[in-house]
Structure 1
C-alpha cells in the first residue's frame, strides 16, 4: 500500500482505538494528530499483522510501532520481555527507549535500553528484576543471549527499526541469530528508509504475509527540501579544511552539524575548527554514551555551535536550533545526503545545506539532484574580501540589535564624559573598531585556490574508461603502474578470504566507510581462500591500512599491510 500524505484522511489518535492511558500521555506531550505513517501503521500492528513500512527518519515511525506495542502489552505479565526492538545505534536505542517510557508511563511499563558502551552490570540488574520491552543494538542483544541473561522465548512482537542501516553496518548475521531465539508465532514489524533487495529477503524469511506501507512523499525527501537552501563549493582536497572555516565564517550558523566519513576525519576536522576559534565537538562511535550525552547537552544549551559527526553517530539526532548541515565530503549514496539535510528541514524549519566537493565528485552531485529533483547550486568559494565584508556586516548587525534594546540609558554618563574630549563620530568609530576586533578583526589569510567546474561529459568519459559494461569494475593493471591522471596505485594485503565469507562489496564498503576512500577509487580486488588483495591509490594506502587495521570485516579484525612483492 502506497500512502500519499497529501491525500490521506485526517484521523485523530482517539479514532485509532488506543487505550485511554496512551491518549492521555499523547495529549500531555502535545500530540494532536498522527503523522501519515502513524495513521496507516498503528491499526494493523494493533490487530497483530506483520508489517513492512518504508519511512524515513523524522516521519514519526517510532510512535507508529511504540504505541501498538503498548496497546497490546500487559505490563509485568512475565519476567522476560514481551517486545523486542532492534536498532542500529546506541543513540537510537536511547531515544526509542525514552519514547516508550513517555508513552507508557501510566501503564508502568518496564523498558530497558541495551547497547554497548554502557556497563553491562547495570543491564544485568534490570534484566534480573524483569522487563516488558527491550530496545537494543544487535551486538549487545546477542551478547546477552550468549550469556543466557536475556531469554526471548516470551517475546510476542519484534521490531526491526532502521533495518537498512543495520544491514549496512554488518548486523545481518546477528539479526538472523536473534530472530531464531524468538518464537515462530511472534509478530514481526520492519521499518526501513529504503527497500533494497536484501530487506525484501529478510521480510520473506521472517515475516508472515506482511502488510506493506510505503510513504511515497516523505518529509525528509524532495517534498521537504524547498525550505533548505542547497549549495556546493568545489575545493581541492588539500584546501578543504581552510574552505570549511571560510564557509562557516561567512555563514555564521547558530548551530551546525559537519558530516565526515570516518572517525579519524571527525577528529582532524574538529581540531582544525577549534584551532580557528570555533566551538566544535566531535561525535563518533568511539565515544562512550556519557560523552555523547554531554556533547549533545552542550550543543542544545548553546555552549557548542558545531557538531562534527559521522553518519552512524548522528543517526536519529534532532536538534531544534540547527540552522546548517555541512557535508565535508559528498556522501557516497544520494539517500545519505537526503537523510543528512533533512535534519535541518524538519517540521517546516528553514536552513542551509552546504557541500564541499572535490572536482571528481561532481557526478555524485548530479546523482543527488536526480534523486531529489532539485538543483544544488555550484557557488564560488568566499574570498578574503567576502569575509571582510561579512565581518563588517556582523558589526553593523550587532550595533543595530543593541540599538533596539531598552537598557541604553545607563551608558549615557559614559558617552557624556567622552564627548568632552572627542566628537561623536570619532567615539562611534572607536566603538565599531572594538566590536570588529571582538568578532575576529581584519582577515589576514591567503586566498584558497579556485577550482573550475568540469564539464559533465568529461567526467562521464573518465568514468567509462574506469568501468566496464553495467558498471562492473575490471582493472588488470599491475601495482605501481599509473592510473589515468598520473596517480600510482599500490596493493594492500587483507588477511581474510573466501573461507571467512568475504565478498568484494565487503572490502569496498569497509574501505569507503572506515578510510573515507570513495568506492570508485578502489581498484582490482583478488579474493583467495585465506587472504585478499585490493588496489588503492598510493597516496591513500597508509590511511586505508591504518583504518582497516582498527576495524572489523565480517565480524573479524584482519591483518592488513602492504602486499609484499614476489
Structure 2
C-alpha cells in the first residue's frame, strides 16, 4: 500500500467531478487556506478562517459545500447559503460555485438588491441548491415567504467583518435563526475584531480555527506586498500621486479615495497627466460599473480610482499596485485593500499618502498587520527625469533585441553620408524620448511642515449629535415607512448600506415616526442613496424615498 497521499487537490478526497472542473480551470495546487480548510469542512466541522481577499478562500468553502450537495437528495429549497456584503461579491462567488460544480449540474442563484426581484422569484420557485446573497435581500425573501431555509445544511459568512461594518449584524442574526440548529457554519473574515469572535461563540459549534498570515519571507527575499508611505501635504497630494505613478509605472492599479468628488478630481488629474484612468463610485449605475471593470480587466485602463464602498468585492487578478490617496480611517480597511495585490507568487505594492499628522495612524496599521510600512522620500524632478531616460533606454534595448530593423536601413544609409552615425543615433533617441513624454517640466514638491507638538486638535462633536444647520455636508432623506410597518433603525441602516454601498458609519441620526422616517446621510451621497432605495424594499415594502421637504 502506498503511504504517500495523492498530490494537489486529489489528496483532499474531493469528488471526481470537482477534480475534473479544477483541472479544466487550470488549478494545480491548493492554496494554504484551501489545504487547511477543506479537510475539516468535508468532515462536517464548523470553521472560523482568517484570510484576506486573494488567498483562495472562495474555493476553500465552495468545494466542500458542493461535495456535500452532491451526496444528498436535492430539494426545492437551498442546501447551502452563502452571505456576502456586496452584490459584486455575490456575483463573483456565484460564478465560482457554478464553475466548480458544472459537472454536478449545481443550481446556484445570486440574490442582491438592484436586480429585478421577479427573476429571483422565478429561480427560487424552480428550485436552487446554493443561494449566494447579501443579508438585506436574503432577509427580504424570507419575510416574503419566497425563501425557506429549513433544509439548509451549510451556511457561510464570507467577509464577515465587512458585513458588520455595513450594519448587517441584526439581519445576520435573523437569517441564522431561520436555519436548522444542526447546520454546518463557516465564517471567513480578513480581520478578527471582538464582535466577530462573539458571533462565532454564539453560532458555531466547537469550530476549527485557521489564521492564514502572509507567507514568511526568507532572508534576502522581497515580501509579496511591498508596503511604503510618503508624507506629503494635502495641497500637493495630486502632484505627488502623479510623480509616484511615473516612477512606479504600474500595469494595473487601484487608487482609493474617500469621497465621490475626490475620485472624480483625482481621475481628471491623472488623465491630464497622460494616464488611462477610470472612476468607480456609488453614484454610478451597475452597467457603468461593469463597463469600467471590463475595460480594466481587458487592459484598456491602467488605473481605477475608487471609493472603498464602490470597490468592495472587486477581484482583479492582474493588479500590481494598491494606492491609498489618504490613510484609511480604519486599519482593517487597509488590510482589505492590500489583500488585492501580491497574489500567485507575484510581488505587489501598497503605497499610502499620509499627512504630517497621520503618521500615528500608520503605526496603528503596523500594529494590526505586524508588518512594517517603510517611509519613503518623494521622488524629485531629477529622479523622475532619470526614470524617464531609463524607460527610453529599455524601449530601445527591447527594439534592438526583438524588432526587424532592416527595413529602416535605407534611412540610415541616406543620412550617414552627411552626419556622423553617433549623432544620428542620439537624434533618434531624442525623438523617442520626446514621443514618450520627454523631460519633466514641473516644480519640486515641498517637504511638509512638521506639526507643532504644543498644538492640540480641536474637539469634534459626535456624529450622531451633528445638526443639519451645523453640518452643511449632511442632508436628511424622507422614507415613507415607519413603526406601523414594524420598522427598526437597523432595518434602515442595513437596507441603505446593502443597497447603496454607503457604510454604516456614514449614516447619521435616524428618526422614526408612526408613518415615516428621516435619515441623515452625506450630502454628496444623497442622490445615490435615493436612486438605490427606489429600486429596493424594506420590510417587504417599497417606500417613497426623497429629500426631506421643508415648509416655512
Fold agreement, TM-score > 0.5: yes
Q: Deviations for 1:110-167, whole angstroms, at most 9, x for unmatched residues?
A: 1122223334343334333322111112223233334443333332222111111111
Aligned 1:356-367 pairs, distance under 5 A: 356-367=353-364
Aligned equivalent of 2:57, options 18, 40, 61? 61
Of residues 45-54 and 351-360 in structure 1, the stretch that sits farther from structure 2 once superposed is 45-54
For residue 307 of structure 1, give the secondary structure of its aligned residue in structure 2. Answer: strand
Aligned equivalent of 1:101, options 70, 82, 98? 98
Report the CA distance shift for 1:352/1:139 in structure 2 as closer, same or farther (over 3 A): same
Where does residue 169 of structure 2 map in the other structure? Answer: 172
Query: Which one has more relative contact order, counting CA pairs under 8 Å at least 6 apart?
Result: 2
Q: CA deviation at 1:466?
A: 5.7
1:192 aligns with 2:185: no
Q: Deviations for 1:216-245, whole angstroms, at most 9, x for unmatched residues?
A: 534499999823332222222222222211
Aligned equivalent of 1:250, options 216, 241, 247? 247
Report the CA distance shift for 1:446/1:119 in structure 2 as closer, same or farther (over 3 A): farther
Q: CA deviation at 1:213?
A: 0.9
Report the CA distance shift for 1:170/1:515 in structure 2 as closer, same or farther (over 3 A): closer
- Work out the CA distance in 2 between the residues paired with 1:247 and 1:176: 45
For residue 345 of structure 1, give the secondary structure of its aligned residue in structure 2. Answer: coil
Aligned 1:74-473 pairs, distance under 5 A: 74=70, 77-207=74-204, 209-215=205-211, 217-219=213-215, 226-453=223-450, 458=453, 462=456
Q: Is the 8 A contact 2:475 2:522 kept in 1?
A: no
- Work out the CA distance in 1 between the residues paired with 2:129 and 2:158: 18
For residue 311 of structure 2, give the secondary structure of its aligned residue in structure 1. Answer: coil
Report the CA distance shift for 1:13/1:109 in structure 2 as closer, same or farther (over 3 A): same
For residue 313 of structure 1, give the secondary structure of its aligned residue in structure 2. Answer: helix
- Work out the CA distance in 2 between the residues paired with 1:560 and 1:220: 54
Where does residue 35 of structure 1 map in the other structure? Answer: 31
Aligned equivalent of 1:52, options 5, 28, 48? 48
- Work out the CA distance in 1 between the residues paired with 2:519 and 2:182: 45
Where does residue 485 of structure 1 map in the other structure? Answer: none
Report the CA distance shift for 1:494/1:222 in structure 2 as closer, same or farther (over 3 A): farther
- Work out the CA distance in 2 between the residues paired with 1:320 and 1:70: 24
- TM-score, structure 1 length as denominator? 0.78
What are the ranges of 5 or more consecutive residues in structure 2 without an aligned counterpart? none
Report the CA distance shift for 1:219/1:137 in structure 2 as closer, same or farther (over 3 A): farther
Q: CA deviation at 1:280?
A: 0.7
Q: CA deviation at 1:46?
A: 2.7
- Work out the CA distance in 2 between the residues paired with 1:196 and 1:501: 25
- Work out the CA distance in 2 between the residues paired with 1:291 and 1:100: 25
Q: CA deviation at 1:81?
A: 1.6
Q: Is the 8 A contact 2:251 2:320 kept in 1?
A: yes
What are the ranges of 5 or more consecutive residues in structure 1 without an aligned counterpart? 1-8, 481-487, 520-524, 535-542, 562-566
Report the CA distance shift for 1:514/1:30 in structure 2 as closer, same or farther (over 3 A): closer
- TM-score, structure 2 length as denominator? 0.80
For residue 231 of structure 1, give the secondary structure of its aligned residue in structure 2. Answer: strand
Report the CA distance shift for 1:211/1:34 in structure 2 as closer, same or farther (over 3 A): same
1:72 aligns with 2:68: yes
Q: CA deviation at 1:545?
A: 4.1
Q: Deviations for 1:239-292, whole angstroms, at most 9, x for unmatched residues?
A: 222221121122222221111223332222222211222101122344444433
Report the CA distance shift for 1:88/1:416 in structure 2 as closer, same or farther (over 3 A): same
Q: Deviations for 1:82-114, whole angstroms, at most 9, x for unmatched residues?
A: 211111122221221122112111111111222
Report the CA distance shift for 1:491/1:407 in structure 2 as closer, same or farther (over 3 A): closer
For residue 404 of structure 1, give the secondary structure of its aligned residue in structure 2. Answer: helix
Report the CA distance shift for 1:551/1:17 in structure 2 as closer, same or farther (over 3 A): same
Q: Is the 8 A contact 2:264 2:279 kept in 1?
A: yes
- Work out the CA distance in 1 between the residues paired with 2:412 and 2:309: 54
Q: Is the 8 A contact 1:56 1:193 kept in 2?
A: yes
Report the CA distance shift for 1:61/1:245 in structure 2 as closer, same or farther (over 3 A): same
Q: Deviations for 1:403-434, whole angstroms, at most 9, x for unmatched residues?
A: 11241111111221233443323322332222
| Aligned positions, number | 521
- Work out the CA distance in 2 between the residues paired with 1:242 and 1:62: 39
For residue 351 of structure 2, give the secondary structure of its aligned residue in structure 1. Answer: strand
Report the CA distance shift for 1:174/1:533 in structure 2 as closer, same or farther (over 3 A): closer
- Work out the CA distance in 2 between the residues paired with 1:216 and 1:25: 25
Q: Is the 8 A contact 1:11 1:39 kept in 2?
A: no
Report the CA distance shift for 1:139/1:529 in structure 2 as closer, same or farther (over 3 A): closer
Q: CA deviation at 1:328?
A: 0.5
Q: Is the 8 A contact 1:253 1:324 kept in 2?
A: yes
